[in-house]
Amino acid sequence: MTDWKTAFESLPDDELDKLAVLRVLECSNGIVQHMYRDGDKDALSIEDTRRLMGFSMSSIKRQQIVLDSETIEFSPEVKQLMVEVRELYVKGMKQNDDLAYAEFLKSSLACLQACGIKRIEAAKDKLFADCYSAPPFVWQFGVDYCRNFLREGLPSV
């Protein structure tokens, strides 16, 4: 089993900066998806919801984030971590494997803790200024989710 805390905390600052952007992106997407599915009165249109989902999923699958003025590329070490975490997510969320889901949550929390809230806020600012795959206010959804996850810790599964 991967020691997530050590794995993420041993990454250099520039890789944590990049991961923070990915975390804000994917968490914002998750919130937008839930809002749409739940029929929330403030949900984005289906077109905006799909555009954000496509951007988020392509960033995760390609392991790069294409912004307006730059493309964020991850190191081979981070790409491997991304593969491991994605496998846990798929097993846990898509295949209802409770142990994989619990491990996914541990990896997610360790990543956020290693990034820290200042880096998460800076990532939001970067997306706000340089990403047009969603309305700019959406990035705050991801920050709020990350802040709550950091504050509340791991849920019981």
CA distance 101 to 81: 16
Per residue in 11-29, pLDDT tens? 999 999 999 999 999 999 9
Return the structure tokens found at 45: 């249109």
Amino acid occupying residue 122: A
pTM of this prediction? 0.94
- 58, 71 Cβ separation under 8 angstroms: no
Host domain of residue 30: 4-152
In a domain, 157, yes or no: no
In a domain, 80, yes or no: yes
In a domain, 91, yes or no: yes
Q: Report which of 63, 53, 46 is spatially closest to residue 26, judged by C-alpha positions.
A: 53
In a domain, 134, yes or no: yes
Looking at the structure of the chain, the number of domains it has is 1
Per residue in 131-146, pLDDT tens? 999 999 999 999 999 9
CA distance 27 to 8: 18
CA distance 77 to 12: 11
Phi-psi region at 40: left, alpha or beta (left = phi > 0; alpha = psi -120 to 50): beta
In a domain, 66, yes or no: yes
Alpha-carbon dihedral 65, 39, 137, 14, rounded to 10 degrees:
-30
In a domain, 12, yes or no: yes
Amino acid occupying residue 65: I
Confidence of residue 154 (pLDDT cuts 50, 70, 90): low
Q: Which residue has the higher pLDDT, 98 or 1?
A: 98
Cα 80 to its chain centre, rounded Å, is 16
CA distance 96 to 33: 19
